[in-house]
Amino acid sequence: MHPWRLRLERWFTPMARRCPFSPNAISIVALLLNVAAAALFFTHHFLLGILFITIGGLADAFDGIVARVQEKTSRYGDFLDHFCDRVSDILLITGWLLGNGVRIEIVVAVLIGVMLNGYIGTQIEATWHVRNYDSVGRGEFVLALVVYPIVSHILFSLGLQTETFAQLRIAEWMSVLLAIFAVLGIVQRFGLASKLQREGRESA
């Protein structure tokens, strides 16, 4: 997902220079759009939810570009952005999981995995002041929350949402896959933390 971050920054920079809204205001707007998307996923309006999450994702990228271009970066703005990201993650994933009737134990496992993944990424940045986009992280989960609702829409349209394979419905298998990728990202980020620690020792 990192190449797309660079492309978005290049495309949005001219607009960011003229933007009349503060980065923090844009962060709040992005959060509200994601709240709406989560509610739409929960009520089975999957395609409309995709529209909201896409716009919310673009707004989430845009706030940082505005902050850098207009030289309005701040510690509070970075804190607010991380907070809004974590709230959005919880609500979007929960909305999709519950909207698809995923059993509660799988819901809990997915939420724990995704939130630990996000927490470890944030903690690496706080500890070593490094942002790394090479591991499985938030960008990949947001992409999944664009693809997964499309699958849900197809399943509900065809009446296949209750079909099971090996005692799990299709949405539940998709949820298990999401949890596996979250764990993979956690392992990758622990590896990154170990690497950063070794490099720190070498330079000490």
Determine the pLDDT at residue 1.
54
| Residue 165 bridge partners (DSSP) | 168
25 CB-near residues (< 8 Å, 6+ apart): none
**For the whole prediction, is pTM greater than 0.85?**
yes
Mean pLDDT in residue range 72-99: 95
Confidence check: pLDDT of 8 > 90: no
List the helix and strand counts (H, then E) for the chain.
7, 2
Confidence check: pLDDT of 133 > 80: no
Whether 138 and 116 have beta carbons less than 8 Å apart is answered as no
Residue by residue, DSSP assigns 47-60 as: HHHHHHHHHHHHHH
CA dihedral sign, ordered 119, 169, 1, 66 = negative
Determine the pLDDT at residue 203.
43
The 10s digit of each residue's pLDDT in 92-115 is 999 999 999 999 999 999 999 999
Cα angle 124, 130, 133 (rounded to 5 degrees) comes to 85
The 10s digit of each residue's pLDDT in 35-50 is 999 999 999 999 999 9
Determine the pLDDT at residue 81.
94
Pairing of β 168-169 and β 164-165 = antiparallel
Mean pLDDT in residue range 159-188: 96
* Residue 137 binned pLDDT confidence (cut-offs 50, 70, 90): confident
